[in-house]
């Protein structure tokens, strides 16, 4: 039982919540670029939040389920179809075997997550099913999906999908899609990580080397809008804008980095480190994106605008707790739809 790739995507990889605790081995935690959307996609098919999903960047693949399966596409808003009909997003969809699922371009956002009941059953590597592209391991052969790739699904995916869809639809009813080649529910999950087409405001803490930058560069970092560069990837988002310079040339020893660190190389154009970032680096750090805003930054596609705003550590902690509560509440409400009668 598998999910076959009929046409590859710009970048589609298997991801879960990553490998925390491996940075001392030179391996970043990795995992989903937008772990919030990954978690909600899993909830929409009744999975635990650490089940493996298919992460799709900017434009998607054409896929074929070899068995009936319950799936959900959540995160960035894609044009997507089931046969000749539109694929409903942000809700569970029960797809009949042999129905082509075509995922087109992202109309808003950057990363989407296709979850399947039971998860994508690729092997565990260092405790995770996520693809680590810099190391070439995990996921599907350690790389992005290619034509004719086959992703294994849970052995009981058909029975599991049928049972979960029956529970998810019993309170609100169902609707057909694609000449009954698929069924869906009448409820959906709201978007959490998208800014639309407005400039995103991303909150940051002062970086370790902020005071080494010239005063004009420190002001420019928060006063000017930046654009995500086309050569951005899962390692880091390059940002285009005014050149940032140090007060005087300074040699910095290589130091640990983390997701959200904003480094400034000699070009003067900042790089915000993302899921597959290097574990150490010697570029000066002007800022650290707060953890609550890293998923929102990940959803900014190439060419999109980003503005940075200074935050305090207390504000960062409050934002993390608020987002955690919001996500936990939404996941709980979604999973309630899958609960057995009397639960």
Cβ neighbors of 8 (< 8 A, separation 6 or more) are 61, 144, 145, 146, 147, 149
- Rounded to whole angstroms, the Cα distance separating 284 from 267 reads 12
DSSP class of residue 141 equals: T
Where do the structural domains in the chain lie, given as residue ranges? 2-193, 200-311
- Rounded to whole angstroms, the Cα distance separating 317 from 301 reads 26
How confident is the model at residue 247, as a pLDDT? 94
How confident is the model at residue 183, as a pLDDT? 84
How confident is the model at residue 178, as a pLDDT? 47
Of residues 289, 326, 74, the one with CA closest to residue 200: 289
Distances 61 to 144, 146, 163, 262 between C-alpha atoms, Å: 11, 9, 27, 31
- Rounded to whole angstroms, the Cα distance separating 139 from 54 reads 9
| pTM score, whole prediction | 0.94
Structure-block tokens of residue 150: 């086959």
Instruction: Please give the chain's pLDDT, 343 residues, in tens.
Output: 689 999 999 899 999 999 999 998 889 999 999 999 999 999 999 999 999 999 999 999 999 999 999 999 999 999 999 887 888 999 999 999 998 999 999 999 999 999 999 999 999 999 999 999 999 999 999 999 999 999 999 999 999 999 999 998 877 666 655 456 778 888 899 998 887 666 789 999 999 999 999 999 999 999 999 999 999 999 999 999 999 999 998 888 889 999 999 999 999 999 999 999 999 988 999 999 999 999 999 999 999 999 999 999 999 999 999 999 999 999 999 999 888 755 4
How confident is the model at residue 176, as a pLDDT? 59
How confident is the model at residue 54, as a pLDDT? 98
How confident is the model at residue 174, as a pLDDT? 60
How confident is the model at residue 179, as a pLDDT? 53
Residues linked to residue 15 through DSSP beta bridges, in sequence order: 53
User: Is residue 165 within 8 Å of residue 70, measured between CB atoms?
Assistant: yes
Cβ neighbors of 266 (< 8 A, separation 6 or more) are none
Under CATH, which number does the domain 200-311 receive?
A: 2.40.100.10
Residue 114 Rama label (left phi>0; alpha psi -120 to 50; beta): beta
Of residues 118, 98, 99, the one with CA closest to residue 159: 118
DSSP states along 202-214: EEEEEPTTGGGB-
User: Is residue 262 within 8 Å of residue 204, measured between CB atoms?
Assistant: yes
Give the number of C-alpha atoms closer than 13 A to the C-alpha of residue 276, restricted to the C-beta side.
20
User: Is residue 129 within 8 Å of residue 16, measured between CB atoms?
Assistant: yes
Of residues 275, 108, 71, the one with CA closest to residue 193: 108
- Number of Cβ within a 10 Å radius of residue 96: 16
């Amino acid at each position: 039982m598998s999910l076959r790739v009929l046409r590859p995507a710009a970048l589609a990889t298997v991801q879960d919540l990553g490998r925390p605790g491996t940075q001392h081995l030179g391996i970043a935690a990795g995992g989903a670029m937008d772990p919030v959307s990954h978690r909600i996609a899993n909830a929409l098919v009744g999975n635990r939040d650490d089940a493996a999903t298919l992460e799709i960047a900017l434009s998607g693949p054409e896929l074929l389920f070899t068995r009936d399966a319950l799936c959900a596409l959540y995160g960035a808003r894609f044009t997507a179809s089931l046969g000749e009909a539109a694929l409903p997003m942000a809700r569970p969809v029960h797809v009949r075997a042999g129905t082509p699922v075509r995922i087109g371009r992202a109309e808003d956002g950057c990363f989407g997550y296709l979850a399947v009941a039971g998860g994508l059953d690729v092997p565990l590597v260092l405790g995770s099913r996520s693809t680590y592209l810099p190391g070439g391991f995990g996921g599907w052969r350690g790389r992005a999906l290619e034509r004719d790739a086959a992703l294994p699904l849970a052995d009981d995916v058909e029975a599991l999908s049928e049972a979960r869809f029956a529970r998810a639809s019993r309170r609100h009813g169902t609707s057909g899609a694609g000449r009954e080649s698929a069924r869906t529910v009448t409820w959906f999950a709201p978007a959490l990580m998208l800014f639309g087409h407005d400039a995103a405001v991303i909150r940051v803490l002062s970086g370790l080397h902020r005071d080494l930058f010239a005063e004009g560069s420190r002001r420019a970092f928060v006063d000017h809008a930046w654009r995500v560069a086309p050569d951005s990837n899962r390692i880091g988002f390059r940002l285009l804008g005014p050149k940032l310079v140090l007060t005087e040339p300074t040699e910095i020893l290589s130091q640990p980095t983390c997701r959200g660190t904003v480094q400034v190389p000699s070009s003067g154009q900042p790089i915000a480190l993302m899921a597959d970032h290097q574990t150490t680096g010697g570029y000066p750090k002007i800022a650290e994106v707060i953890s609550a805003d890293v998923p929102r930054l990940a959803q900014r596609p190439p060419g999109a605008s980003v503005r940075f705003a200074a935050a305090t550590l207390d504000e960062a902690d409050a934002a993390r707790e608020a987002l955690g509560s919001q996500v936990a509440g939404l996941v709980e409400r979604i999973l309630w739809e899958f609960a057995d009668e009397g639960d």
